[in-house]
């Protein structure tokens, strides 16, 4: 990659990358991603020391030390579009010389671990202290197909099986399935429930919710809940995982999502006191991350 096109690799006046407002060296190679900017501060309360705090738009970043390991935590905001910006710019900070606008010959592999909240799609999944690891992401957002390498990294068998089994509406974005990093599944995901996570491009209609506007197809949740692949069930719905996985795979990074289940779409349960279970999950993820 070499470009002098200022509209492609966009930098701020101080040389920092545009949306993240960060410069090379500000981040650790292991980065915890969260949607909510407020959750960045929660995770940072576990750190032994703080090296950096930066805030731009919905992106709040803290780098610090936890039990001798340098870590960063960053909020992405909600949705695949935000993930697309964040992951591309994270990669650029490590793997593009921003001054020369040249791709580096030696690449840095990042560990990107998303901690989120999610709604369960199986009746037997409780809504209290119930982490789910996304073994697969199944994107309903269509992002993978905008990238030339998208078809190279997705799981074609999972993708085709889902489309066929659900008789997918051709007027909707084409789904894509992709597996999490095997490395992080082994190092971070052990001992927790694993499954297929659906990633929607929105919170309301794409997840079957109606307020004033009617949903095109309210059966998607029920039909998706019955889908299995390689003995893995569709376990939950959220808005970031498939985008995180497909971008990381194309760029050569490791990615994994762990979600705290706070609602169940099948039983209509909700845990209003999920902050305690989220704190417990953060503590356990950090204990596993420190051993990477």
What range defines the domain where residue 276 resides? 30-289
17 belongs to a structural domain = no
Question: Along the 292 residues of the chain, how does pLDDT read in single tens digits?
Answer: 555 566 889 999 999 999 999 999 999 999 999 999 999 999 999 999 999 999 999 999 999 999 999 999 999 999 999 999 999 999 999 999 999 999 999 999 999 999 999 999 999 999 988 999 999 999 999 999 999 999 999 999 999 999 999 999 999 999 999 999 999 999 999 999 999 999 999 999 999 999 999 999 989 989 999 999 999 999 999 999 999 999 999 999 999 999 999 999 999 999 988 899 999 999 999 999 999 9
Alpha-carbon span 158 to 232, nearest angstrom: 11
Alpha-carbon span 125 to 132, nearest angstrom: 9
15 belongs to a structural domain = no
Nearest to 111 by CA among 135, 132, 89, 87: 87
138 belongs to a structural domain = yes
pTM for the structure as a whole: 0.96
Tell me the backbone φ, ψ of residue 62, rounded to 5 degrees.
-135, 130
* Number of domains the chain is built from: 1
13 belongs to a structural domain = no
Q: Are 178 and 136 in contact (CB under 8 A)?
A: yes
Give the CATH number of the domain where residue 44 resides: 3.40.50.1580
Number of alpha helices (DSSP H) and beta strands (DSSP E) in the chain: 8, 14
18 belongs to a structural domain = no
24 belongs to a structural domain = no
6 belongs to a structural domain = no
251 belongs to a structural domain = yes
């Amino acid at each position: 990659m070499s470009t002098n096109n200022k509209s492609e690799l966009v930098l701020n006046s101080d040389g920092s990358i545009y949306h993240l407002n960060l410069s090379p060296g500000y981040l650790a190679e292991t980065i915890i991603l969260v949607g909510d900017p407020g959750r960045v501060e929660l995770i940072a309360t576990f750190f032994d020391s703080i090296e950096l705090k930066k805030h731009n738009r919905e992106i709040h970043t803290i780098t610090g030390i936890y039990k001798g390991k340098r870590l960063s935590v960053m909020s992405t905001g909600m949705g695949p579009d935000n993930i697309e910006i964040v992951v591309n710019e994270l990669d650029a900070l490590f793997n593009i010389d921003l001054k020369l606008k040249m791709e580096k010959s030696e690449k840095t592999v990042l560990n990107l671990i998303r901690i989120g909240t999610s709604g369960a799609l199986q009746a037997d999944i409780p809504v209290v202290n119930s982490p789910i690891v996304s073994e697969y992401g199944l994107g309903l957002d269509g992002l993978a197909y905008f990238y030339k390498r998208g078809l190279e990294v997705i799981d074609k068998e999972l993708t085709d099986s889902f489309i066929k089994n659900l008789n997918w509406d051709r007027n909707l974005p084409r789904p894509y399935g992709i597996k999490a990093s095997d490395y992080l599944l082994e190092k971070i995901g052990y001992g927790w429930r694993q499954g297929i996570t659906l990633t929607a491009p929105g919170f309301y209609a794409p997840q079957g919710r109606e307020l004033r506007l009617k949903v095109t197809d309210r059966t998607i949740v029920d039909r998706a809940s019955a889908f299995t692949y390689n003995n893995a069930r569709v376990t939950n719905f959220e808005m970031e995982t498939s985008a995180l996985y497909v971008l990381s795979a194309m760029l050569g990074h490791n990615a994994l999502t762990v979600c705290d289940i706070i609602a169940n779409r099948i039983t209509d349960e909700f845990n209003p006191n999920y902050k305690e279970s989220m704190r417990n999950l953060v503590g356990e993820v950090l204990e596993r991350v420190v051993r990477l």
